Chains A and B, each alone.
Chain A
């Protein structure tokens, strides 16, 4: 098995002629938690959407398991990974139906769906929420449903786009514990986009700093946070750069 779940080669994205991402070369090692760090508007979310095949790059390539993406493989690849959005996007139905959605589109049998959904809801501590209307939940609960929705699919790669940006400290702690648990227990590769350096420090094994649409530093999180090579990263870590 290829040690890298995803590798990108000169990945670029433009919107209306404006370059958002410029020649991104990224290697995401399997089974690790990767943090994509950078200020707002730097292209973190765009990068996640490109990696999750929700958008097309303007140029460059994405390699999965060491192989370049082929159009025929798109659905199969998409079903091996999933993205949790910054603001949880839930269907206007029950919590159970929301969490079961990904399994239903994969045509899993009803008994298996029931078991998996219940287990996922237990993990996110929403055991008795099955019949509640998802849109009536609090922000933290919604985000936990969104994580259960993704987790129940047992993806190889879980993308999280600023998953705690709108949450209170208690819910931030709950979500962070969940992310660690998912990574350790299920060996899921986690890619988290965050502007919160402290969160990245708490969670990530690997870190990539994005600035001006480019990667300015990438490597082991521990090393980057203790001995950064790039002065902008150093300023950021010292709290002199507002992200």
Chain B
């Protein structure tokens, strides 16, 4: 028990003394996952709106794929990205393997179906009369879609938060395509795994505290958003 308490004490010291390595890992994690969620929202929100609001052939197939990909195993995504980006892979010439770029690609692939599927549910839950009202007030198809998205904004924001929570805590893909290189691709989840393996619990605990704090903030944010909706 003592070593856990000692570890916690040192972890707090690392955080409070603004330890350079600790904060490099934290900011890199936030940058990679933040960029991935931004890209995933650019893909997932329009996709969710398209499938949720319009009827077209293949709509059911896309919905099923989105829902299936909702729970994509992170190591499988990591493996496929690795195969594509490795020297022998079709995108090997880009030289992205073991870079933050590769991690952003992997996390974008993980977050897109989550944001897409939750956005779909969000737009479908908007009163259909809103669509008719917008059209009746002279809105074009795109303006009508934007009006519905605006109505669903709280639920869509919740989708972004869930997506962010998923990618910032994932380890499989980050480890495979990032390689856990210090100062370059070492993020909170991979650093925790590494430091725990080495028996250096202080940094692992410090990062764990930050990850838990982020998870808490995410859940608090979701709770707050649900309160607003109610």
Q: Give chain A's interface residues, CB within 8 Å of chain B.
A: 49, 52, 54, 75, 78-79, 82-83, 85, 87, 89, 91-93, 101-102, 105-106, 149-150, 153
Contacts and interface: CB of A to CB of B under 8 A. Distances in A.
Given A91-B150, A91-B151, A92-B151, A105 B138 contact: yes
A83 B133 CA distance: 8
A83 B140 contact: no
Given A91-B147, A92-B151, A105-B143, A85 B133 contact: yes
Contact of A82 (B127, B136, B151): B136
Using C-beta atoms within 8 Å of the partner chain, give the interface range for chain B.
10 to 19
Nearest to A97: B150
B134 interface: yes
A52 B136 contact: yes
24 contacts: A49-B132, A54-B136, A75-B138, A78-B136, A78-B138, A79-B138, A82-B136, A85-B132, A87-B129, A89-B127, A89-B129, A89-B130, A91-B147, A91-B150, A92-B151, A93-B150, A101-B134, A105-B137, A105-B138, A105-B143, A106-B138, A149-B137, A150-B137, A153-B138
B62 to A, nearest CB: 25
B135 interface: yes
B141 to A, nearest CB: 9
Counting chain A CB atoms within 10 Å of each CB, which of B139, B140, B143, B147 scores highest?
Answer: B139
B137 A102 contact: yes
A192 to B, nearest CB: 15
Nearest to A84: B136
B201 to A, nearest CB: 48
A82 B124 CA distance: 24
B138 A102 contact: yes
A82 B132 contact: no
B180 to A, nearest CB: 45
A6 to B, nearest CB: 15
Nearest to B136: A83
Counting chain A CB atoms within 10 Å of each CB, which of B129, B133, B134, B135 scores highest?
Answer: B133
Interface string B141-176: 001000100110000000000000000000000000
Contacts of B132: 49, 54, 83, 85, 89
Contacts of B130: 89, 91
B135 A78 contact: yes
Given A54-B136, A91-B150, A92-B151, 14 more contacts: A54-B135, A83-B132, A85-B132, A89-B127, A89-B129, A91-B147, A101-B134, A101-B137, A101-B139, A101-B147, A102-B138, A105-B137, A106-B138, A153-B137
A69 to B, nearest CB: 15
Nearest to B128: A89
